Copies of this chain bind each other. A is one copy, B any other.
Amino acid sequence: MQKESNISRASNISRAFTWLEPGPVILVTTNNGKRNNVCTISWHMVMDFSPHIAITTGNWNQSFDTILHTRECVLCIPGLDLLDDVLYAGMHSGTKIDKFARLHLTALQGNFVKAPLIEECLACIECKLESHIETYGILIFKGLQLWENKGRKENRTAHAVGDGSFISDGHIITKYRKNMRTKIPDGCTRF
């Protein structure tokens, strides 16, 4: 019997930006029609609540070519427990290595794109490519479906400093929530 997945579909996309705005290091999955691939990205930016999301990358990254060709990807937010995998995915090219197999990551099928969700991540956002700003290497995505895995023991994320060091999430401060209530869409409280 197939094991039941711990990852579940959020009823709307409105909370997706709350996973990216704090600036965690993320995993980006693609599928080029032959196999899945995964790379690590830290240069990303929420652009609005719909959400539109920008990332910066370029042709040194195999996933970049796949994204331009397939016009889709999944942005996955790993917990701190996946930091070794995040580093491996960021340091190795998928041209010769099946990184999904090597890292024992569980690829699941989403609703809108062929790129896989990663079951072990805290959240996954299925995305379609809307635009490529070539001059600056910026890809602009529209998030279509949020998935969340509420069964993980480790719910802290990691923030890449960029020099190989990382900052883990510390404590959560919720005392300002009432101030923001009128400025954001309904239903997007994360904590």
> Interface of A with B (CB < 8 Å)?
17-18, 21-24, 42-48, 52, 54-56, 83, 87, 91, 131, 133, 135-138, 140, 156-174, 176-181, 184, 188-191
Given the known interface contacts A22-B23, A45-B56, A138-B138, the answer about A181 and B164 at a Cβ–Cβ threshold of 8 Å is yes
Copies of this chain in the oligomer: 2
CA gap between A184 and B22 in the complex, in Å:
23
Q: How far is the CA of A48 from the CA of B173 in the complex (A)?
A: 31
Bound: A21/B135 CA distance, A: 21
Taking A167-B170, A169-B170 as contacts, is the C-beta distance between A42 and B21 under 8 angstroms?
Answer: yes
Known contacts: A181-B164, A184-B162, A188-B162. The answer to whether A47 contacts B56 by CB under 8 A is yes
A-B contact pairs, 5 of them (CB 8 A): A22-B160, A91-B179, A164-B174, A167-B169, A167-B173
Question: Nearest Cβ in chain B — how far from A122, in angstroms?
Answer: 13
Q: Which residues of B contact A157 (CB under 8 A)?
A: 167
